[in-house]
Chains A and B, each alone.
Chain A
């Protein structure tokens, strides 16, 4: 069973379209995240949720709207896609700090806007 699963794995779409990426974790973790990896492999936080509550919104444009229906799911909806949104989007989850603490990442969604 995949611990953190994202769908779709690849997404190619035209500028101006609206798209969603889904993420689910079966680890029982309380916290979920969206990270963006650009073409130079730089990883940057977008959003953090803890028990369905938004904790971090890292100056992400309003066109990006996360939704967490329950603590096992964190989806990302993107409106009016732009060329600059092309990147790999990673979902991750973590439990409370402790000796076994650490992020578990999904396999990523490669978004290409044309």
Chain B
């Protein structure tokens, strides 16, 4: 099956710093989503981005499908950005299954 690798596994920032999280995948995808799991365990969908670039406030994401990677940018980080960021992909024409990466644990200190 498709492999999803996220880097870095852990990231510690001071409030106000910027960061880039990376997601590499091993095969072509028709579905790529970024999620944030907050410290209380809630999973929030950030972006559906199988290709191209999207922005939502301080967050933006870019997927270069031909090179099999996606980037999540967090600017002016806040303590509420802390948590685990997951990249998840769907491939093989199936819209009914996402394969998740192991996540990046982000800690933003005040």
Contact = CB atoms under 8 A, between A and B. Distances in A.
A53 B98 CA distance: 18
Contacts of A13: none
B43 interface: yes
A107 B45 contact: no
Contacts, number: 56
Contacts of B30: 97
Given A41-B84, A41-B102, A102-B48, A108 B95 contact: no
Given A102-B33, A103-B33, A43 B45 contact: no
Given A41-B37, A41-B84, A43-B86, A104 B45 contact: yes
B100 interface: yes
A60 to B, nearest CB: 13
Contact of A42 (B35, B41, B43, B100): B100
Nearest to B98: A45
B50 to A, nearest CB: 9
Interface in B81-98: 84, 86, 88, 94-98
How big is chain B's contact interface, by range?
20 to 34
Contacts of B33: 102-103
Contacts of A108: 41-43
A40 B100 CA distance: 13
A75 interface: no
Given A42-B102, A45-B98, A48-B97, 12 more contacts: A31-B95, A41-B37, A41-B84, A42-B100, A44-B100, A45-B99, A48-B96, A50-B96, A55-B96, A94-B95, A102-B33, A105-B43
Closest 5 CB pairs of A and B: A48-B96, A105-B43, A102-B45, A43-B100, A102-B48
